[in-house]
Amino acid sequence: MNDSIRFLMCPPDHYDVDYVINPWMEGNIHKSSRHRAVEQWHKLYHILKDRAVVDLVNPQQGWPDMVFTANAGLVLGDNVVISRFLHKERQGEEPFFKQWFESKGYTVHELPKDLPFEGAGDALLDREGRWLWAGYGFRSELDSHPYLAKWLEIEVVSLQLVDERFYHLDTCFCPLTGGYLLYYPPAFDFYSNRIIEMRVLPEKRIALGEADAVNFACNAVNINHTVVMNKASKELKARLAAVGFEVVETPLTEFLKAGGAAKCLTLRVTEPVIPEHHANVPVESRIVRLEGHLLDTGLISRALDRIMEAGGSFQVLNFNLGEQKQSTSSAEVKVSAPSHEVMEEILSQLIDLGAVNLPEDERDAQLEPVLIAGVAPDDFYVSTIYPTEVRVSGQWVRVQNQRMDGAIAITHTASGPVARCKLLRDLQVGEDVVVDVIGIRTVRKAKSREQRNSQEFSFMSGSVSSERRVELVVEQVAWELRQIRDRGGKVVVTAGPVVIHTGGAEHLSRLIREGYVQALLGGNAIAVHDIEQAMMGTSLGVDMKRGVAVRGGHRHHLKVINTIRRFGSIAAAVEQGMLTRGVMYECVKNNVPFCLAGSIRDDGPLPDTQMDLIKAQEEYARLLQGAEMILMLSSMLHSIGVGNMTPAGVKMVCVDINPAVVTKLSDRGSIESIGVVTDVGLFLSLLVKQLDLLTSPYPVPAAV
Ligand code: ARG
């Protein structure tokens, strides 16, 4: 007999099914036989007594479920967290269990009232002592988990239960000696299954079928290499035997009628703290702080989802809800990850969401020098579109030239450290680059609800619109364009040749002529087809008025390229009266700068096309500076390039007939980008009409 293992049981003197608080009890009220229950309970009692010490708590009249001592509380070392039952039918058991623990000298921890947690029924220690698996979804609240972590000083891995037949974690999950796990995967949601798979090696996972699960095979008592349970199939016994476990079956059918079996009827009250594990687990944790309109913007749930999706777990240590609608909330979240890599991934995502480390956890950013020009140190922090600060020598320094997909380079000047986003190719030997994810934060201005509501752009936030909503977007965009033009702001258009093929040239020309566009970015093709249309009435050989291919039309664009080449540039062709209309014509006439970035076709290019792509990228970046809004019109590649060069806060409207393109471009996680799935020619014609409406005289009201 092993003296270091003790269990608590409660004799079934008052056991019966008196009420229904789980699906097993339904139809079983007063259907269990007292005589058989007593007999089954005693068999279990003796099996355990042969292998461990069994303590008893006095049964109490009126509390029939008190036999299920697993729900008394959760023990680790000298500490016990007393249960807070969800159902009033069981709440009366609490004081009796509390008394018992106090009489044995345990340090008793009590959860706030109204925070349900049902003890070891919903919280199972990894048998190696590495962490605590805790269930939620039916009986215990997720919010109880941080308390468990704090009081028991252990990492809590939260698992969500989704099948009401398996309402307690111990009905479908049983950690075994040696890191093995007996469990029924369908009882958990998808994420929880992933978490389980990340923590338990495949060869250690013993997944049950439904037949064993409904016989409560997971509701087993594990003592070293013995597993005591109600019933197991042949296959299950064989699988357990193969990894060294002996199954002892003992019928507990009378207790199944109340939704419990072997494990439920016992509580292990000796759970040793395993300090070396606590010390050297690969599990890392960090505490981060989130601030803003956490609830109404969904920020908190997004943050917690990201943590789970990346394979970490979290504890919300505290949450201060803003009291007024305009006040912000803040939350401190302890993030745990099974490895440093996972932690880095999670933290960089949380940094994007604006999370910061707690002041006491604040450290300087880690720097490493550039050793080869144009190559960053491994593990460099990849910059994002959000305004960022890095901590250098104890001070937060704002990063300049914010853009995504760069590295953050630090240079030390007489007036202090300077941080700048740099493209990899621009990194110079000796420069320091930020690595890891320590000492980095993004700065988010929390907008008040009013500000958010008055921001016309946010109502479509980040979403791809359906055809019906196109008009609403057009109204918004027209309104913004007009405002930006009137205050002398900057709008940049990226456009692909589809703008011309779909008949959008005349509309885009008007936008340029009327001062709504301050720069045009494209490639060789848009200019070629625009000029082809202006000079020959076709776009890629198709007659734009009649919509039919013109005989010999495929040669048109070559003629056009040749003509412009003769003039030397588009501007020269305009000045000498050769080019008299169209998008490129309007750019020249209205001094709107444009950049045509490259061509892979060898039929050109136009003399204006910049074939040195690095120069073209630089020119794009220059023209984008100070832009307040970018219209991306059916040009996937140029638009992606532009998106990457643009910091958060710039409004982006992406129009494409292909929903995939729109999703890709507008999914920047920032509220300023919206996507419209529609024909770009149609979009432009609606936009021009809407702008006309805005300039039309206000109708005089009819006389009364
Ligand atoms: N009738 C009890 C209830 O629903 C059964 C408890 C079973 N205990 C357990 N640890 N799963 O609360």
User: Is the CB of 68 inside a 6 Å radius of any atom of ligand 1?
Assistant: yes
Q: Work out the pLDDT band at 675, boundaries 50, 70, 90.
A: confident
Q: Give the residue, 643 or 63, on which the prediction is more confident.
A: 63
Report how far residue 560's alpha carbon sits from residue 531's, in angstroms, rounded to the nearest whole number. 7
**Average confidence (pLDDT) over 561-582:** 96
Q: Which atom of ligand 1 is nearest to the CA of 259?
A: 5
Assess whether pLDDT exceeds 60 at residue 126: yes
User: Is the CB of 174 inside a 6 Å radius of any atom of ligand 1?
Assistant: no
Q: What is the pLDDT of residue 628?
A: 94
To which residue do tokens 């700068």 refer? 593
Tokens for 538, please give them.
């076709």
Assess whether pLDDT exceeds 60 at residue 214: yes
The Å distance, Cα 309 to ligand 1 centre, comes to 31
Assess whether pLDDT exceeds 60 at residue 2: no
Assess whether pLDDT exceeds 60 at residue 643: yes
Which H/E stretch holds residue 7? Answer: strand 6-9
Q: Work out the pLDDT band at 460, boundaries 50, 70, 90.
A: very low
Angle at 605 between CA 603 and CA 610, to 5 degrees: 150
The Å distance, Cα 637 to ligand 1 centre, comes to 59
Measuring from atom 1 of ligand 1, which residue has the nearest CA?
258
Q: Which atom of ligand 1 is nearest to the CA of 168?
A: 11
Contact present, 656 and 634 (Cβ < 8 Å):
yes
Report how far residue 254's alpha carbon sits from residue 15's, in angstroms, rounded to the nearest whole number. 10
Q: Would you please indicate which residues are annotated as catalytic (active-site) residues?
A: 168, 264
Measuring from atom 6 of ligand 1, which residue has the nearest CA?
260
pLDDT digits (tens, 9 = 90+) for 680-699: 999 999 999 999 988 877 77
Q: What is the pLDDT of residue 360?
A: 62
The Å distance, Cα 67 to ligand 1 centre, comes to 9
Helix boundaries (H) for 50-184:
88-91, 94-103, 145-152
Q: Work out the pLDDT band at 523, boundaries 50, 70, 90.
A: very high
**Average confidence (pLDDT) over 630-636:** 93
The Å distance, Cα 264 to ligand 1 centre, comes to 6
Which range has the top average pLDDT, 43-57, 334-348, 646-660? 43-57
User: Is the CB of 260 inside a 6 Å radius of any atom of ligand 1?
Assistant: yes
User: Is the CB of 155 inside a 6 Å radius of any atom of ligand 1?
Assistant: no
Tell me the sheet residues that pair with 495.
633
User: Is the CB of 168 inside a 6 Å radius of any atom of ligand 1?
Assistant: yes
pLDDT digits (tens, 9 = 90+) for 484-494: 999 999 999 99
Identity of the residue numbered 548: V
Measuring from atom 7 of ligand 1, which residue has the nearest CA?
260
Contact present, 10 and 59 (Cβ < 8 Å):
yes
Report how far residue 577's alpha carbon sits from residue 210's, in angstroms, rounded to the nearest whole number. 81
Q: Give the residue, 278 or 555, on which the prediction is more confident.
A: 555
> Which among 264, 265, 267, 268 is the best mutation to test ligand 1's pocket, defined by most ligand atoms within 8 Å of the CB?
264
The Å distance, Cα 168 to ligand 1 centre, comes to 7
Assess whether pLDDT exceeds 90 at residue 61: yes
C-alpha distances (whole Å) from 183 to each of 218, 313, 341, 573, 643 are: 6, 20, 28, 76, 46
The Å distance, Cα 105 to ligand 1 centre, comes to 26
Assess whether pLDDT exceeds 60 at residue 577: yes
pLDDT digits (tens, 9 = 90+) for 532-553: 999 998 888 888 888 888 888 8
Q: What is the pLDDT of residue 456?
A: 44
To which residue do tokens 């060294």 refer? 244
Give the sign of the dihedral formed by CA 402, CA 408, CA 410, CA 411: negative
User: Is the CB of 70 inside a 6 Å radius of any atom of ligand 1?
Assistant: yes
User: Is the CB of 21 inside a 6 Å radius of any atom of ligand 1?
Assistant: yes
Measuring from atom 8 of ligand 1, which residue has the nearest CA?
264
Report how far residue 566's alpha carbon sits from residue 569's, in angstroms, rounded to the nearest whole number. 8
Q: What is the mean pLDDT of the chain?
A: 89
